[in-house]
């Protein structure tokens, strides 16, 4: 309820003048009178609201950036008794920033209640006229920042406002389908729309349309049927201009549509459309650009650095009881900041959307959003109804059992960025710093370009690839050679001076290496109580891995200085075990550096080690299903070329040695088949390409299994030999002391 009486000037405003006493009381009780200092903002461009505003006293300016301009301009000046923010009436986000020029007061009126009060006070007809007037003003505000309306005469803008129709569509809903008549030219008021064309039996995204873009004009002007599919990437609001009016505008201003169109049509020469990833230099594969637009804290895993160890999920489960991320999802190929393009996995984990659908659908208000934008769940208010999980388009919320005795049996859980801890556990426990939380519109240059968000995305780094271990390895080998030479000449002896010191150093360093396991487990405890979680940074575990690797090399060099390069004598067994431990440690480090890149090059989809067998069965079943109905030539090629190719014993190793990705291997296999055909029967090879894709992936699965076994198998062997080495070193020390 408003604590301050409203000035009489508010109800003298044309919008509120016809209200009865009851309507005034209800609006006074539900509305809000805001006092503004000079420069205070009422709302920002892009914000969504459910209220309309009336200036009580003072002046408020609306400023925004018209399409095609580089800087914001004043769109409108609102004085006492005038309303603004009409976009909320039609469900659109605000077109510009609203800010007080000097000291001002603004009345905030809930839209739904205002329209009900008007209908009761003035009658349905009068209320509908007022609503149409408000909607017209909202449409005028929207068109003021459109390049389309800047190119036409003011009288034509009035014609557009008279004829404009609004249409709200949900995610995945089609605006129109191929073959339908072109009845409207459409403008994107809010949200995002994809233009899709069918190529080779698949829907390909030709372009993404964002707020302020228009589409569907080519067929309207030429009176053709729709040639492609337009579908909403997310909840969207569209404004439609009837076809006849669009043709009239095109006739009055020849070339208008071609001049202001951002997305080229297939018939435009010399212009390139804004397309999906397969046609960009960075091989950007944005299956869901809308997701990248709304995400404010998106979890990404660099597959060129991820060793598929599962530490991210296991650390999350250890901290929360239930893992709040699943290491499966879409993959995009793009650069992070100034880095080289890399495949980034988008695992299943809450991305803290700008406008969370889960929060809107929660019936108890259990889901909230803090000032930093982090979305959280109040478990005390959650009834486990599952409405939020159904509302999330990316399945990032799970409904899990509560502990026995709770009032409600189930509760919703999702990533809360490890609230109350220094950093997310998944980031802290990644041994290669391959996982991070990012803002796509700020941190991914290709996304920023497609969304026209920033000209220069900030430079960010996902994983530090400084070759510390490589430098240390060469330095250690050089030092070991020097020590071995000095030992052979008798300068160093195990029982004298420097030799004894190096032996003690070997023991102490090896004991420090043995403490690595407890240190790793202590990372989670050090996280607790260190303030809110933040987005990005090299994990602490990554730093400790680097320290562990360097200490291992130091222990190796010290052991050479203490006992020489020989494995004979009393300490020979301990030296052999220690040197073997070092060699296996170097193999683990090399595997961590190389295997992820090899894996990401031959993965069709990012999965876990246990997914490989399931995927193999799925591919084999799918190939035989695809073979049904194909020509005899395709069946013979499948039997004589594709099956032997996919089952070749050395095929996975050949794929590794050729250093090809899956696309390059598919092209090479297709070229091999074309050479066999020698130009004959090409017309009977329809449906062969999908079979080639599956055959290549089957061979790649064999390589994935080998690489996974390598990176997963060397580490346990390293640990086992290290444990044996530690025992032998302690026995050697004990024997020396007893002598």
DSSP string, 7-25: PHHHHTSTTTTT--HHHHH
Q: Identify the band that residue 542 occupies on the pLDDT scale cut at 50, 70 and 90.
A: low
Please report where in the chains the tokens 């990372």 appear, as a residue: 523
Q: What is the pLDDT of residue 4?
A: 61
Reading phi first (left if > 0) and then psi (alpha if -120 to 50, else beta), residue 527 is in alpha
Strand ranges of the sheet holding 202-209, from the earlier edge strand across to the other edge: 174-176, 229-232, 193-199, 202-209
User: Using CA atoms, how far apart are residues 262 and 259, in angstroms rounded to an integer?
Assistant: 8
Q: In this structure, are 391 and 343 located in the same domain? A: yes
Q: In this structure, are 327 and 390 located in the same domain? A: yes
The b/e string for 501-534 (b: 16+ C-beta within 10 A; e otherwise) is ebbebbbebbebbeebeeebeebbeebeeeeebe
pLDDT of residue 75 exceeding 70: yes
User: Using CA atoms, how far apart are residues 543 and 113, in angstroms rounded to an integer?
Assistant: 57
More confident residue, 423 or 437: 437
Q: What is the pLDDT of residue 99?
A: 95
Q: In this structure, are 226 and 193 located in the same domain? A: yes
Q: In this structure, are 171 and 251 located in the same domain? A: yes
Q: In this structure, are 19 and 155 located in the same domain? A: no
Q: In this structure, are 705 and 726 located in the same domain? A: no
DSSP tally for the chain: helices H, then strands E: 27, 24
- Total structural domains in the chain? 5
Q: In this structure, are 582 and 724 located in the same domain? A: yes
In a domain, 139, yes or no: no
Task: Please give the model's pTM, rounded to 2 decimal places.
Answer: 0.71
Least confident of 483-487, 509-513, 696-700, 710-714: 483-487
List the domain range (segments joined by +) for residue 671: 611-710
Average pLDDT value for residue range 26-42: 91
* Last-in-domain residue among 131, 162, 189: 131
pLDDT tens per residue across span 123-164? 666 666 777 777 777 777 777 667 666 677 777 888 888 888
Q: Identify the band that residue 430 occupies on the pLDDT scale cut at 50, 70 and 90.
A: confident
Cβ proximity of 354 and 329 under 8 Å: no
Cβ proximity of 339 and 349 under 8 Å: no
What's 116's domain CATH number? 2.60.120.10
Q: What percent of the chain has pLDDT over 70?
A: 83
What is the chain's alpha carbon radius of gyration, rounded to the nearest angstrom?
Answer: 33
Q: In this structure, are 492 and 421 located in the same domain? A: no
Q: In this structure, are 706 and 727 located in the same domain? A: no
| Integer angstrom CA distances of residue 28 from 31, 59, 74, 342 | 5, 21, 31, 56
User: Using CA atoms, how far apart are residues 460 and 433, in angstroms rounded to an integer?
Assistant: 13
In a domain, 731, yes or no: yes
pLDDT of residue 1 exceeding 80: no
What is the token pair recorded at 19? Answer: 């209200």
Q: In this structure, are 271 and 326 located in the same domain? A: no
Angle 368-370-375 from CA coordinates, rounded to 5°:
50
In a domain, 196, yes or no: yes
Cβ proximity of 715 and 588 under 8 Å: yes
Cβ proximity of 237 and 186 under 8 Å: no
In a domain, 382, yes or no: yes
What's 376's domain CATH number? 3.30.70.20
* Last-in-domain residue among 451, 477, 501: 451
pLDDT tens per residue across span 182-207? 999 998 888 888 888 876 666 777 77
pLDDT tens per residue across span 344-395? 888 989 999 887 888 877 888 899 888 778 899 999 899 999 999 998 988 8
Average pLDDT value for residue range 517-545: 53
Q: In this structure, are 537 and 577 located in the same domain? A: yes
Q: What is the pLDDT of residue 150?
A: 67
In a domain, 160, yes or no: yes
CA neighbor of 453 nearest in space, from 441, 437, 471, 467: 441
User: Using CA atoms, how far apart are residues 291 and 192, in angstroms rounded to an integer?
Assistant: 10
In a domain, 259, yes or no: yes
pLDDT tens per residue across span 575-623? 888 889 888 888 888 888 888 888 888 888 777 778 888 889 999 998 9
Cβ proximity of 189 and 237 under 8 Å: yes
* Last-in-domain residue among 70, 105, 131: 131
In a domain, 1, yes or no: no
Q: Identify the band that residue 536 occupies on the pLDDT scale cut at 50, 70 and 90.
A: very low
In a domain, 3, yes or no: no
How many C-beta atoms surround the C-beta of residue 727 within 10 A? 12
pLDDT of residue 648 exceeding 60: yes
Q: In this structure, are 269 and 297 located in the same domain? A: no
605: DSSP letter: S
């Amino acid at each position: 309820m408003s604590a301050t009486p409203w000035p009489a000037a508010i109800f003298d405003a044309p919008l509120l003048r016809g209200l009865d006493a009851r309507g005034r009381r209800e609006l006074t009780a539900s509305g809000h009178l805001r006092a503004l200092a000079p420069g205070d903002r009422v709302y920002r461009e892009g914000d969504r609201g459910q209220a309309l505003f009336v200036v009580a006293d003072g002046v408020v300016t609306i400023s925004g950036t018209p399409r095609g301009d580089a800087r914001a301009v004043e769109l409108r000046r609102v004085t006492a008794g005038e309303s603004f923010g009409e976009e909320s009436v039609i469900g659109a986000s605000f077109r510009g920033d609203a800010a007080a020029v000097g000291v001002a007061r603004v009345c905030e009126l809930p839209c739904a209640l205002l329209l009900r009060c008007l209908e009761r006070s003035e009658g349905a007809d009068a209320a509908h006229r007022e609503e149409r007037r408000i909607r017209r003003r909202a449409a005028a505000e929207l068109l003021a920042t459109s390049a389309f309306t800047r190119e036409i005469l003011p009288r034509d803008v009035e014609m557009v406002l008279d004829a404009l129709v609004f249409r709200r569509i949900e995610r995945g809903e089609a605006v129109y389908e191929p073959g339908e008549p072109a009845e409207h030219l459409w403008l994107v008021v809010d949200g995002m729309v994809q233009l899709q064309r069918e190529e080779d039996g698949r829907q390909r995204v030709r372009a993404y349309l964002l707020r302020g873009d228009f589409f569907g004009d080519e067929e309207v002007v030429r009176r053709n049927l729709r040639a492609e599919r337009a579908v909403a990437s997310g909840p969207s609001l569209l404004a439609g201009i009837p076809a006849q009016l669009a043709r009239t505008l095109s006739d009055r201003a020849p070339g208008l549509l071609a001049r202001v169109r951002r997305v080229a049509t297939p018939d435009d020469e010399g212009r390139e459309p804004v397309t999906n990833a397969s046609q960009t230099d960075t091989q950007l594969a944005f299956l869901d650009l809308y997701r990248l637009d709304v995400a404010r804290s998106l979890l990404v895993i660099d597959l060129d650095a991820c060793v598929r160890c599962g530490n991210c999920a296991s650390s999350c489960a250890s901290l929360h009881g239930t893992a709040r991320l699943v290491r499966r999802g879409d993959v995009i190929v793009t650069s992070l900041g100034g880095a080289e393009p890399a495949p980034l996995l988008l695992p299943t984990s809450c991305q803290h959307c700008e406008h969370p659908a889960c929060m809107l659908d929660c019936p108890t208000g259990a889901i909230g959003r803090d000032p930093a934008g982090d979305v959280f769940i109040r478990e005390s208010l959650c009834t486990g109804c599952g409405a939020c999980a159904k509302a999330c388009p990316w399945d990032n919320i799970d409904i899990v059992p509560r502990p026995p005795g709770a009032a409600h049996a189930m509760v919703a859980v999702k990533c809360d960025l490890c609230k109350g801890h220094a950093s997310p556990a998944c980031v802290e426990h990644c041994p290669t710093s391959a996982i991070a939380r990012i803002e796509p519109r700020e941190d991914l240059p290709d996304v920023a370009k497609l969304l026209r968000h920033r000209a220069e995305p900030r430079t960010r780094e996902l994983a530090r690839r400084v070759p510390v271990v490589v430098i240390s390895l060469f330095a250690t080998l050089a030092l070991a050679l020097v020590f071995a030479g000095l030992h052979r000449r008798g300068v160093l002896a195990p029982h004298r001076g420097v030799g004894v010191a190096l032996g003690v150093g070997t023991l102490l360093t090896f004991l420090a290496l043995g403490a690595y396991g407890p240190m790793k487990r202590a990372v989670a405890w050090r996280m607790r109580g260190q303030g809110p979680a933040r987005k990005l940074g090299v994990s602490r575990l990554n730093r400790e891995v680097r320290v562990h690797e360097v200490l291992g090399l130091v222990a190796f060099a010290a052991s050479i200085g203490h006992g020489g390069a020989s494995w004979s004598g009393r300490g020979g067994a301990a030296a052999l075990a220690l040197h073997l431990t070092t060699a296996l440690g170097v193999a683990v480090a090399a595997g961590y550096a190389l295997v992820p890149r090899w894996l990401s090059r031959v993965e069709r989809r990012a999965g876990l080690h246990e997914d490989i067998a399931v995927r193999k069965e799925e591919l084999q079943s799918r190939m035989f299903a695809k073979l049904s109905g194909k020509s005899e030539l395709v069946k013979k090629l499948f039997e004589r070329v594709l099956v032997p190719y996919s089952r070749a014993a050395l095929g996975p190793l050949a794929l590794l040695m050729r250093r090809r990705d899956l696309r390059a291997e598919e092209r090479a296999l297709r070229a091999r088949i074309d050479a066999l055909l020698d130009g004959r029967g090409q017309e009977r090879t329809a449906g062969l390409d999908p079979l080639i894709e599956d055959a290549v992936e089957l061979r790649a699965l064999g390589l994935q299994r080998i690489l996974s076994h390598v990176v997963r198998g060397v580490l346990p062997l390293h640990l086992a030999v290290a444990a044996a080495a530690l025992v032998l070193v302690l026995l050697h020390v004990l024997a020396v002391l007893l002598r």
